[in-house]
Amino acid sequence: MGDFSLELGDDQKSVRDWIHGFAADVMRPAAAEWDEREETPWPVIQEAAKIGLYSLDFYAQQYFDPTGLGIPIAMEELFWGDAGIGLSIVGTGLAAVGVLANGTEEQIGTWIPQMYGDVNDVKVAAFCSSEPDAGSDVGSMRTTAVYDEAKDEWVLNGTKTWATNGGIANVHVVVAVVDPELGSKGHASFIVPPNTPGLSQGQKFKKHGIRASHTAEVVLDGARVPGSCLLGGKEKLDERLARARERARGGERVKNAAMATFEASRPAVGAMAVGTARAAYEVALDYAMTRTQFGRPIIDNQGVAFQLADMRTQIDAARLLVWRASWMAVSGKPFTSAEGSMSKLYASETAKKVTAQAIQILGGNGFTREYPVERMHRDAAIYTIFEGTSEIQRLVIARTLSGMPIR
C-alpha cells in the first residue's frame, strides 16, 4: 500500500509561517482601527505588497501548488489575522480567478498584472456578478452586454451590487447577459478597463462585519469596452451559445461564467472561514485557561471544556473538507458529490457557530469591543452568505447527490 500523509511540506510550512507572522505583526494590531473606520486599509495592503504577499507572483505560486493546498493555507492564515483586512488583501483574487477561469492566455497576461499594480502604486480589482434582483438567482440577471459590430465594442448597461472593491477598482470583471433567451446560460464575463466612461460607483454599503473591506454598487451606463475585453473571445462565446441553445432544446444543463468562478473559489472561502473560526477558538481557549472563577480556571468546568473540544473538532473537520476539495480541484477530479460546496457550507457554518461560542465563553467581555471575538463573530456572518448562501450550497449538494431538479 502506498504512503499516505497529511503532513505539509517544508515549503508549505515556510509560507504558512511567513503569512502567519505578517497576520500577527501587521494585520492584528490594525484590525480594530480599520473595522471602526470602515475604510479600505491601503497602508496594510501596501505593506503586503512590499513583502510580495499582495502580488500576482505570490498567488500564482500558491495557485499552482501541485497539492492544491497553497491557496487554502494562505487564506486560513490571512483570515486568522483579520477577516476584513484579509478580504481587502485577497478580494482582487476573485476577479483574477474570473479571468483565469474564462480568459485567454493573452487576457490573463494583460489584465491580471493591472489588477494588482506594483509596490509603488497598489491597485485592486472587483468581480461584479450579483445584482439587486439577482443574488443566488443568477438567472434573474439584468445587466446586458450588446455587441456593436461596426465598432467591435460591447456596450454594458445595468447595476451590480455587493461588489468587493466595486467602484474603487482599477479593473472590473463584469458578468452580463448576452442572450436573454438562454437565461443563466446566456451570460458572459467582460473586462472593464480603468477609467472607462459609463462605469461609476453607486451606493457604498455600511456592513455588519468585514467592515475594512469596501463593498459597493457598480453602475454601468452605456459603458463601452473593446471586443478584446470579452473573456474567452467572441468565437468561443458564439460556439458556447450555440451549444447552449442545442442543449436547451435537449433539456441538458450547462454551466455559466459566474458559476465557473464560484466553483473555483468556494474551497478558498471555506479556508477563510476556518481561519476566522480558529482565531476565535484560540482567544476563547486562552481566556478559559487564564480566567478564574470560584477559585479555579473556567476551563476546569466541563460546560466550558466540552465547548472548546467541540469547537476544535469542528474546525479541524472543516479544514479537512477544504483540503479535500482543493486537492480534488488541482488533481482534475470532478466534484461528483459537490465536494466544493460541502467544504464551503461546513466551514462557513462552523465559523458562525465557533465565534458565537467564543463570545459565550468570554461572557460579558466577549460582548465588548475590548476583545476581538465580538468582531470575529460579526465577520463570520458573511461566510454563509457570499459566493453562494448556505441554502444554495445545500441545494447544489442535494441536486448533485440525487440528480433531481430540487427546488
Domain boundaries, the chain: 10-121, 125-250, 257-402
Which of 128, 123, 120 has its CA nearest to residue 111? 123
Q: Pick the range with the lowest mean pLDDT from 137-151, 300-314, 371-385.
A: 137-151
Question: Quick one: pLDDT band at residue 1, thresholds 50, 70, 90?
Answer: very low
Q: Please provide the average confidence, as pLDDT, over all residues in the chain.
A: 94
Q: Report, as an integer, the average pLDDT of 200-206.
A: 98
Q: Report, as an integer, the average pLDDT of 140-153.
A: 96
Q: What is the pLDDT, as a whole number, of residue 346? A: 98
Question: Mind listing the pLDDT tens digit for each residue in 66-110?
Answer: 999 999 999 999 999 999 999 999 999 889 988 988 999 999 999
Report, as residue numbers or ranges, the catalytic residues. Answer: 387
Residue 198 is classified by DSSP as T
367 has a pLDDT exceeding 50: yes
44 has a pLDDT exceeding 80: yes
3-state secondary structure of 1: coil
C-alpha cell of 335? 466534484
Question: Quick one: pLDDT band at residue 43, thresholds 50, 70, 90?
Answer: very high
Share of the chain above pLDDT 90, in %: 86
Q: Report, as an integer, the average pLDDT of 197-211.
A: 98
**What gap in Å lies between CA 101 and CA 384, rounded to an integer?**
23
Query: Is 257-402 a domain of CATH 3.40.640.10?
Result: no
Assigned fold of 125-250: Butyryl-CoA Dehydrogenase, subunit A; domain 2 (2.40.110)
* pTM confidence score: 0.93
DSSP 89-105: HHHHHHHHHHHHHH--H
Question: Within a 10 A sphere around the Cβ of 240, how many other Cβ atoms?
Answer: 21
251 has a pLDDT exceeding 90: no
Which of 57, 54, 58 has its CA nearest to residue 123? 54
| CATH number of the structural domain 10-121 | 1.10.540.10
Q: Which residues of 284-315 are buried (b: 16+ CB within 10 A; e: fewer)?
A: bbebbeeeeeeeeebbeeeebeebbeebbebb
Q: What is each CA distance from 199 to 317, 319, 336, in whole angstroms?
A: 43, 39, 39
C-alpha cell of 222? 452605456
Instruction: Evaluate whether 222 touches 157 at the Cβ level (below 8 Å).
Output: yes
Question: Quick one: pLDDT band at residue 63, thresholds 50, 70, 90?
Answer: confident
Instruction: Evaluate whether 270 touches 348 at the Cβ level (below 8 Å).
Output: yes
Task: Report helix, strand and coil shares of the chain as percent, to nearest 5.
Answer: 60, 15, 25
Question: Mind listing the pLDDT tens digit for each residue in 104-130?
Answer: 999 999 999 999 999 999 999 999 999
Question: Quick one: pLDDT band at residue 2, thresholds 50, 70, 90?
Answer: low
